[in-house]
Amino acid sequence: MGAAEWKFLLDENIARTVAQQLTQRGFQADLVVDVLAPGVSDYTDVLPYAREHDLIVVTKDCSDFSALPVSEHEGLILVANHKHSAVDLADGINTIVDTYPSRESFRHQEEFIDDWISH
C-alpha cells in the first residue's frame, strides 16, 4: 500500500512546513487551521473531523490526546519534543508508515514520534 492511504490531520501546534514535507512525500496532510479554524476544540471539532475523514492526528498536545480511549481516534502521532524540525517529523512519520504493514493496522494506535526519530 502506498502513501496515499495514509492521511494526516496536523493540529494547530504543528507547523505548515511539516504538512509541506509530508505532501512532498505523497501523503495527504491537512492542517486544522485550514480545514476547521484556529482555536477549535480538540474534542468537539478536531477528533470528530479526523474520525469522519479517517485522518491520523499529529499533535504536540500530548497531555490531552494521550489520555483518550482508543475508540476516540483513528490513530495518533504525539510529539513530546517540540524542538524537532519539519524534516525530522516527516522522517519519523515516514518511518512509522514504513513499519506498520497498512493504514488499517495503525487504526486506534498511538505513537510518540520522538521514539521514531533517529539522531
Compute the distance between CA of residue 8 and CA of residue 57 in angstroms, rounded to an integer.
Answer: 6
Look up residue 74 and give its DSSP letter: S
Total structural domains within the chain: 1
Compute the distance between CA of residue 54 and CA of residue 18 in angstroms, rounded to an integer.
Answer: 19
pTM over 0.75: yes
Look up residue 23 and give its DSSP letter: H
Segment 3-51, tens digit of pLDDT: 779 999 999 999 999 999 999 999 999 999 999 998 999 999 999 999 9
Residue 37 is part of a domain; what is its CATH number? 3.40.50
Helix orientation angle between 16-24 and 86-99, rounded to the nearest 10 degrees: 50
84 with 21: CB under 8 angstroms?
A: no
CA distances from 112 to 62, 92, 96 (A): 9, 10, 10
List the one residue out of 76, 72, 71, 94 whose CA is nearest residue 22: 94
Domain span holding position 105: 3-116
Segment 96-110, tens digit of pLDDT: 999 999 999 999 999
